[in-house]
Structure 1
């Protein structure tokens, strides 16, 4: 039996999804094709199509795999744990932000959206939010988490990491400080905070603001 046939028979959907995630991490959505995937897996396209019908299904499966890993059933930390789980997953896999936004808008009934909404909603219910306000509260948290995490991932791609990020934030901060004080009094006033902020701390502070609003609303 030829070696390629043996490899094809050993191919699984999980192996395909794992390889797709690796390609997405290194090349982005545009770099994920069935041709590059067959080369990565050393198999033929027919073996892949046996497990995955098309690129859309493959992207959905890769997205679901990462979200499932980010939100295990025993995840500690309450809503902060859920938020950080998604934040860190999107930071590690920047393409995930676009896929989550796409699935949220186009396929809200598919598995990944209910999975995230359920994780957030359980924590909202644990806060004793009245039934009539739970959907609003969970939706506000959902949109903040995905939006803020996605924006952070986009910023990270531009700024780089380590010294590059510090230099990028410093340059933005200096540019803000040079704005017209009459037109941009607030932006100039917070320029130093832009230079010094920590992304994860800022993200969690936003969660706390939303939770404080939920609490105040119920009072």
Structure 2
């Protein structure tokens, strides 16, 4: 039920203002905190002014996600050669989902929204410019998009885990690294070797290394 209007803004309330305010609540406290009551309090307005632009919370989440992705896509790597542009776009998405963890969840929840179409269009277009043959273009674009969004989403989930009381990243990685190093060397020889790298690895650098592996493989498609 829509509650009573207790305050009114004297200036106009655009959808952009509502969406940015919703994104602020999502960044600060997550999806559970995004309610129309919280939004009216932040914007100092009534329910009607918000319902005029968005129908419900799902619509609001989708619009906020579209806005974040549109800002990543707009002007990112314009003029760069395709391979470098792909790396820049991929890293821009990684950083955006790291800063706004709810974006990754929303992209998987409603894949038909404009945000995901923008991602596919940009990455697919750059792969086309890179010379990927038509027969492989769809699969190459899907694989790279899935890698980018999957790793970015997992990284954001890990960051949320640490901020929810699991300690800082260095201590967490040190603990996991020690556990890996103590495993049975006959059963887990690779994991034990990887333990030394786990402690000091950089998430963004590892992510970009994965993008480069994809691009190296894609370059063989002729």
TM-score (norm 2): 0.89
2:165 aligned with 1:158? no
Distance in 1 (CA, whole Å) between partners of 2:47 and 2:197 is 51
Equivalent-residue separation in structure 1 for 2:19 and 2:153 (angstroms)? 22
For structure 1, list consecutive stretches of 5 or more residues without a partner in the other structure.
none
Q: How do 1:188-207 residues align onto structure 2 when only pairs under 5 Å count?
A: 188-207=192-211
How many residue pairs get aligned? The number is 209
Tell me, in whole angstroms, the C-alpha distance in 2 between the residues paired with 1:74 and 1:181.
45
**Aligned 8 A contact 1:8 1:44 in 2:** no
Contact in 2 for aligned 1:121/1:134 (Cα 8 Å):
yes
**More deviation, 201-210/67-76:** 67-76
Asked if the contact 1:141/1:207 (under 8 Å) is kept, the reply is yes
1:18: which partner in 2?
20
Q: Which position in structure 2 is the counterpart of 1:149?
A: 152
Partner of 2:125: 122
SS class of match (1:51): coil
RMSD: 1.7
**1:159 Cα deviation from its structure 2 partner:** 3.3
Gaps of 5+ in 2: 1-5, 79-83
Partner of 2:171: 167
Could you tell me whether the CA contact under 8 Å between 2:76 and 2:89 is conserved in 1? no
TM, length-normalised to structure 1: 0.90
- Show the counterpart of 2:63: 61
Alpha-carbon spacing, 1:59–1:8, altered in 2? closer, same or farther (3 Å): farther
**In structure 2, distance between residues paired with 1:153 and 1:187:** 23
Larger helix fraction of residues: 1
Q: SS at 2:132's partner residue?
A: coil
Kindly indicate whether residue 119 of structure 2 is the aligned counterpart of residue 112 of structure 1: no
